Structure 1
Amino acid sequence: MTFATAPTFLRDLTTDDVVPAELVYGIGVNHIMDWHNAWQPALGALKAALHEQGVPKSEWPQTGHWNWAAKVVEDELLAFRTFSITAEGMTQALMRVDLTKTARLEGVSGKPLVYVDYLEVAPWNQSFAGTQKKYRGAGPILLAAAVELSFEEGFKGRIGLHSLPQAEPYYEKEGMIDLGPDAQVQNLRYYEMTSDVAQTLLAQE
């Protein structure tokens, strides 16, 4: 299957160069193969390094148990859309969103939004103690893609998500509103982005 793509770029933090990349509107077999054949060994090596440094497991990658092969199978349902980012011949980030959820913020409660179900960047693009992050920018590109989809669907840029603890500072920096822990979703904090913040985010792209 061939997916539509859009040109973008990432920042190589090892050289400070701008690297051409592609935002792909879908997750294909090649992306899953990268996740299996490259992400998993890199994740194992990262965990081993963190263990050797004595880093508590609570500070290890919190997305390491996600199975993207299973998530893509579920993507066959019309409720879900998937995205990926590739650069230099490798998948750098993956995202799945759900179009069946509704907003909780006062004033827009009950209105549809794009719910970011899963968003993960490759292990080498994550920051952990004693490790060098390779590329910067994949997460913001995917978040902007979710906002763009929200506008396309007539949802006025509204998006929502439950954040893993390690990602909370990022979503707060992006201007998302913290609606507190959700007892129905493992007590993860739930965030929403308003239309005004969404418009500002896209203007910065």
Structure 2
Amino acid sequence: MQLTIKLIRGQDNLAVAADLVELQQKHSDDYNSTWKEQLKLHEQEDKYWDWEFKFQSVIRKQPNREGYAIEYDNETQGLMLIETQMHGSRLTPGKRLVYVDGIASAPWNREVIQRPPKYKGVGTTLLSFARKRSLELGYEGRVGLHSLPGVEKFYDRQSMIDLGEDEDYDDLVYFEYGLWRSSELDVK
């Protein structure tokens, strides 16, 4: 699977064609060799995420898990892990949704680390793709996730519904998208 998507280059706001692909070993390696130290240096909440484990033990061994990456200029720009069968909607009880189990943008694409970011639109594109997968699975665009502290405003800007802190999930704020039509998605 490979989709051509659009990112915006931060230095001049020009669009560049990048690829959204299934997560591979290379992406996990990029996280460990290139991202991790920068995330630690800048005290990012996802600095201890283990994408090697997510790839080897979760995605490769659990058929209800899928991983995706955005690549541009031979660099991993973003990563996402989703769960596709076990989560239910809080907005529409009794209906399934795609649950985003992890989503990350490369350190150089985060405004809190680099201004302007090298590429904009990584997280937005990954969320749009999660909605597309939700539609493909018959879940009508429903997507849910728990936000790391300090990132809630990003999900607010994505028009996700803030359903408050979840005491069963380390008090992280839970967000959800409701129904959506495929004509409204950025990722075709």
Q: What is the TM-score when the length of structure 1 is the normalising length?
A: 0.83
Amino acid at match of 1:18: A
Counterpart of 1:32 in structure 2 is: 28
Counterpart of 2:119 in structure 1 is: 135
Counterpart of 2:173 in structure 1 is: 189
Superposed CA deviations along residues 160-188 of structure 1, whole A, max 9, x for unmatched, are 11111222111112111111110010000
Identity of aligned residues (%): 33
Paired with 1:33 and 1:83, the residues of 2 have a C-alpha distance of 14
How much has 1:190 moved relative to structure 2?
Answer: 0.7
Bigger CA radius of gyration: 1
Paired with 2:182 and 2:170, the residues of 1 have a C-alpha distance of 30
1:10, 1:18 within 8 Å by CA — same for their partners in 2? yes
1:103, 1:111 within 8 Å by CA — same for their partners in 2? yes
Paired with 1:140 and 1:129, the residues of 2 have a C-alpha distance of 18
Unmatched segments (≥5 aa) in structure 1: 48-59
| SS at structure 2 position matched to 1:139 | helix
Amino acid at match of 2:23: I
Counterpart of 1:102 in structure 2 is: 88
Superposed CA deviations along residues 78-129 of structure 1, whole A, max 9, x for unmatched, are 1101110000110000000011100111xx2121100011000011111216
Amino acid at match of 1:180: G
Paired with 2:44 and 2:29, the residues of 1 have a C-alpha distance of 20
Q: What is the TM-score when the length of structure 2 is the normalising length?
A: 0.91
Paired with 1:27 and 1:190, the residues of 2 have a C-alpha distance of 25
> How large is the RMSD of aligned CA atoms in angstroms?
1.9
Counterpart of 2:49 in structure 1 is: 66
Unmatched segments (≥5 aa) in structure 2: none
In the superposition, relative to structure 1, how do residues 31 and 70 fare at CA in structure 2: closer, same or farther (>3 Å)?
Answer: same
Q: Say whether residues 1:79 and 2:64 are aligned partners.
A: yes
